[in-house]
Structure 1
């Protein structure tokens, strides 16, 4: 659907939607983000009933949840090639349609294998959508509005992260875990209709072979940035994944206290997302350096006050605030650091994030099983500090592409 009378040129042959239609398109993407996050993380709070109903162990059900990450990595690497052949509007709607199919498959799953297939489909949507998100925003809005728009899109992320698990747990006790996923279906249908109405036609611009994605690593700034991304997310998720065992073992919270603490940590994500959005334009590189460092310090702070409930609550709010600011900051970096190849760059950074989440969770679990929960938090903090050191003052990750679109400082 094209609205020619309302399209403006941004000087880079990209369509910019005027007025309310521009923000309507952004709103449809923000809702899609919220649904993706809810679909991805809601099973965590429903793990026990899902395992019992499908005749699987909790560990097996956990594997079904983590398999989405594997498919997200693969899809994020290939989606740029697909995007080079298909209108972006149709591709995004197709991904939303796949999310709808995965939710129905999960709700109707009669076996563990069917659940695995449904989660794999969802992983494809996660990898594909996130890889294209920043590049799509760059085509929808004027250049100076990109940071603000990314912040608006990530509001959907913060919203779902805050409420998905608590709502899923609550509704699961009333309508069952299958009913929870059926409840998401009409929302995704409405999102699909919204996308059909609001998203403009965005024809493919250039071919993006898979080799181009890995070729970006030859650029010095991209190589350092990917190292910083992986250390930041591995450290954060190496801690986040095992926050419940820490709170139960160290702070000895009750189930209601646990729910409130996790809700407070998730709610703090709104503050982090809003704060990062306000600072991105002038302080992007400072944020990328200081956020993982501060998150590492707060992680160690959790250990130091681990036996004091109010102290843990304060640290968790700080932890949630800092952690939520990291993804939106790296998305803003993508718009600057690989501005000439946003589709391929998006695929590369999403693959790095998904892979680091898997590796970080495995690293934290290894430390937990063989040493202690304290070792898990310390290990995560070390990775976060290393991320800050890799990024340095930001010079290493600044764009190395000149005005002619060629890399002027390739990695040597």
Structure 2
């Protein structure tokens, strides 16, 4: 795709896609702040209303790869526009309904639309900038999801208190419809015909490095969200913070996550493995330190910021690596990245909830620290299999269509020469992701 931008400047489509992920991140998490209103209006218990969160997560886990394959032969612009349109309609049906079952079904539908948008959006983002800036562009796109936690969720919760839970749903419906129009404006229709078959997408799953990157994505999110999901009892029960101050700590988490996503996007293109190894180790360390130091309010908030900063640094890097390892079949891989993140979140929070009951408020940070430490295993395995060098180590700027085999060399072997080494290290990976 001809971006029409100067080197170092991201094309407008990346920012439009980031706005889409902002809306979808907001709808995923805003329900947590609207549970009492939803439960009262739909005549269910708060715990039953919580199924609206679970349904969305399950829809993302199962729906992302399913929708990626189902829409593989559609032009990418059409897929993105349809995803946002269905996302908008799902919120309209939910806002008009007085039935919990219909609202629950609408949440599943919006999750499926989110999975389709995410899987195609990652491919469009990386293709729009080429391999040189792919991680930075993904950092911006994923930054929309992070910004949703900092801005979208608090605003949605506040609006829900003023207008009722239907108000935020109507707002999301209108904004996503506007987003569909913007997508149609910034992505040319002529460049959207997909050329990769379902068989080629499935064939990409044979690469071991791909699964290591997905494992790292799952574990780091599981570790961070295990602690984050139960921050309130830790901060109020151990650090002694008043309940009214807890949102400030959550803002610190959001600010750290936003900074980490930006840092990962900047550093990951140059030193992907070093960046992720250091960040994962720092995340585990911050979570371990939270156990003895969380009695201090200042230390607790500082560690909340640090775990978000380092944990979210890993996200754009491992996502970009997964797409690179997929070679010519990145669509299913980007969907599996979404499934990996949500699987980690679901498993991490479930284990942390058990630890909270058995170990008290320091149980979730302990679980998170262990899971984050396990992230080092797949990352170390990637380092062992072959050093992942920067996408373009030379000062020159090669064409974005340069082979991924050349972009991701393993350790050089003088006896084999660079070409044979590349072929052996990345058998099956032929070129950069197809142009959208």
TM over 0.5: yes
1:112 aligns with 2:100: yes
Give the direction of change, closer, same or farther, for the CA distance of 1:29–1:322 in structure 2 (3 Å limit).
same
Find 1:99's aligned residue among 59, 79, 87. 87
Provide, for residues 10-57 of structure 1, a one-character-per-residue CA deviation record: whole Å limited to 9, x for no partner. xxxxx2232499722222111101101111111111111111111111
- In structure 1, the partner of 2:364 is 376
1:268 Cα offset (Å): 2.3
Deviation at 1:214, TM superposition (A): 5.6
Give the secondary structure class of the aligned counterpart of 2:195.
coil
The match for 1:221 among 170, 192, 209 is 209
The aligned counterpart of 1:16 is 2
1:406 Cα deviation from its structure 2 partner? 7.5
**5 Å matches for 1:124-273?**
124-201=112-189, 202-209=191-198, 215-273=203-261
Check if 1:55 corresponds to 2:82: no
Equivalent residue runs for 1:254-403 within 5 Å: 254-392=242-380, 394-396=383-385, 402=405
Unaligned segments of structure 1, at least 5 residues: 1-14
Question: Given that residues 130 and 346 in structure 1 are in contact (C-alpha distance below 8 angstroms), is that contact kept between their aligned partners in structure 2?
Answer: yes
Question: 1:102 touches 1:121 (CA, 8 Å); kept in 2?
Answer: yes
Aligned positions of 1:28-107 closer than 5 A:
28-107=16-95
Q: Is 1:220–1:409's contact at 8 Å kept on the other side of the alignment?
A: no
Cα pair 1:296 1:380 within 8 Å, conserved: yes
CA pair 49-335 structure 1, distance change in 2 beyond 3 A: same
- How many Å separate the matches in 2 of 1:179 and 1:113? 19
Residues 308-362 of structure 1 show CA distances to partners (whole Å, capped at 9, x for unaligned) of 1111121112122123222212222134322332112212222222222211221
Cα distance in 2 for partners of 1:320, 1:61 equals 28
Shift of residue 80, structure 1, vs aligned partner: 3.2
Q: 1:125 to 1:216 in 2, by over 3 A?
A: same
Cα displacement (A) at 1:407: 7.4
Once the two structures are superposed, residues 171-214 of structure 1 have per-residue CA deviations (whole angstroms, 9 ceiling, x without a partner) of 222222211222223222221211111111233333442x6656
Distance, in Å, in 2 between the alignment partners of 1:322 and 1:345 is 24
Q: So what's the TM-score if we normalise by structure 1?
A: 0.88
Q: CA deviation at 1:374?
A: 1.7
Of 368-377 and 302-311, more deviation after overlay is shown by 368-377
* Corresponding residue for residue 5 of structure 1: none
Return 5+ residue gaps in structure 2 as ranges: 389-403, 407-418, 428-436
Conserved? CA contact 1:16–1:22, under 8 Å = no
CA distance in structure 2 between the partners assigned to 1:169 and 1:402 by the alignment: 47
Distance 1:213 1:59, change over 3 A: farther
Deviations 1:362-400 (Å, cap 9, x if unpaired)? 11112223332322221121111011133116244767x
Report the equivalent of 1:12: none
| CA shift digits 1:56-94 (9 cap, x unpaired) | 111111111111111112222223323331000000000
Give the C-alpha shift of residue 274 in structure 1.
2.2
Q: Secondary structure at the match of 2:194?
A: coil
Q: Is the 8 A contact 1:166 1:263 kept in 2?
A: no
Structure 1 residues 409, 34: CA separation in 2 closer, same or farther (over 3 Å shift)? Answer: closer
* Distance in 2 of aligned mates of 1:409 and 1:128: 28
**Offset at residue 409 of structure 1 (A):** 6.4
How far the C-alpha of 1:297 sits from its partner, in A, is 0.9
1:131-188 CA distance string (max 9 Å, x none)? 2222111222233232232222223222212112321222222222211222223222
Equivalent residues of 2:221, 2:344 under 8 A apart: yes
**Would you say the 8 A contact 1:34–1:160 is kept in 2?**
yes
* Matched residue SS, 1:16: coil
Secondary structure of the corresponding residue to residue 53 of structure 2: helix
Q: Which residue of 2 aligns with 1:11?
A: none
Contact 2:87 2:173 in 1 (8 A): no
- 1:281 partner SS: coil
State the secondary structure of the residue aligned to 1:394.
helix
> Structure 1 pair 67/407, CA: closer, same or farther in 2 (3 Å)?
farther
Paired residue total? 396
